[in-house]
């Protein structure tokens, strides 16, 4: 079931993405961005932005499929209809996430933080994080230096590289050149 007249979610946070249709009966692949992949099914409602309008999606079934999942959207049993959702990002309202303890944060809180080294040199702004086998990685872009179009990738290792994270002021201090 899709609710096209949905209002914009308050403080939306992306938790996944919809992939390609699976089979002919209205199933579609879903990729979870939550730390524990199954947790995506604990947060509702799901919102997607389609043709500049917010919609909510409800599904009636889900299954683990390889390293991700497939879902069946309520009242849709047609591959061509469900295919229109391919590449849609899945959002929830941030307020439904669990409240974190002191010095804990969500990745979404890190994105947009200004990054400085311990000598107070501005390195750039966090534009993304990626998970690797050994550690998470900050992706930083310096918008102030016009001649540098490259992104800096810095391991997100507490105390060895990341000295301080101030979510309130959106500042991260790292040990880096």
Confidence (pLDDT) at 104: 87
- Separation between Cα atoms, residue 125 and residue 128, nearest integer Å: 9
Q: What range defines the domain where residue 55 resides?
A: 2-96
**Sign of torsion, CA 56 91 16 44?**
negative
**Sign of torsion, CA 7 10 11 12?**
negative
**Residue-by-residue pLDDT tens, the chain, 177 positions:** 555 556 789 999 999 999 999 999 999 999 999 989 999 999 999 999 988 899 999 999 999 999 899 999 999 999 999 999 999 999 999 999 999 988 888 989 999 999 999 999 999 999 999 988 888 999 999 877 766 668 899 999 998 999 999 999 999 999 998
Phi, psi at 144, each rounded to 5°: -80, -30
Residues 20 and 58 grouped into a single domain? yes
**Sign of torsion, CA 80 77 92 129?**
negative
Residue 60 resides in a domain: yes
Residue 101 resides in a domain: no
Q: Where a domain ends, among 42, 75, 96?
A: 96
Element (H, E) at 77: none
Decide: residue 129, CB within 10 A, 0-12 exposed, 13-18 middle, 19+ buried.
middle
Contacts of 40 (CB under 8 A, 6+ apart): 15, 16, 30, 32, 33, 34, 69, 90
Residue 160 resides in a domain: yes
- In contact, 158 and 174? CB cutoff 8 Å: no
The enclosing domain of 164 has a CATH number of 2.30.30.240
- In contact, 112 and 170? CB cutoff 8 Å: yes
- In contact, 72 and 26? CB cutoff 8 Å: yes
Residues 8 and 77 grouped into a single domain? yes
Domain count, the chain: 2
Confidence (pLDDT) at 10: 92
Six-digit token string for 47:
């919102």
């Amino acid at each position: 079931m899709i609710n096209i007249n949905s209002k914009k979610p308050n403080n939306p946070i992306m938790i996944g993405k919809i992939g390609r249709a699976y089979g002919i009966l209205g199933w579609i692949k879903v990729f979870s961005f939550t730390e524990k992949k199954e947790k995506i099914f604990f947060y509702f409602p799901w919102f997607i932005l389609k043709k500049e309008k917010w919609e909510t999606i409800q599904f009636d079934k889900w299954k683990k499929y390889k390293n991700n999942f497939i879902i069946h959207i309520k009242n849709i049993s047609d591959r061509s209809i469900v295919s229109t959702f391919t590449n849609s990002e899945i959002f929830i309202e941030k307020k439904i996430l669990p409240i974190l303890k002191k010095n804990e944060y969500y990745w979404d809180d890190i994105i947009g933080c200004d990054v400085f080294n311990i000598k107070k040199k501005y390195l750039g702004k966090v534009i993304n994080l990626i998970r690797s086998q050994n550690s998470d990685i900050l992706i930083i872009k310096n918008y102030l230096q016009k001649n540098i179009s490259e992104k800096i990738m810095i391991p997100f290792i507490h105390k060895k590289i990341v000295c301080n994270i101030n979510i309130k002021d959106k500042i991260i201090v790292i040990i880096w050149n």
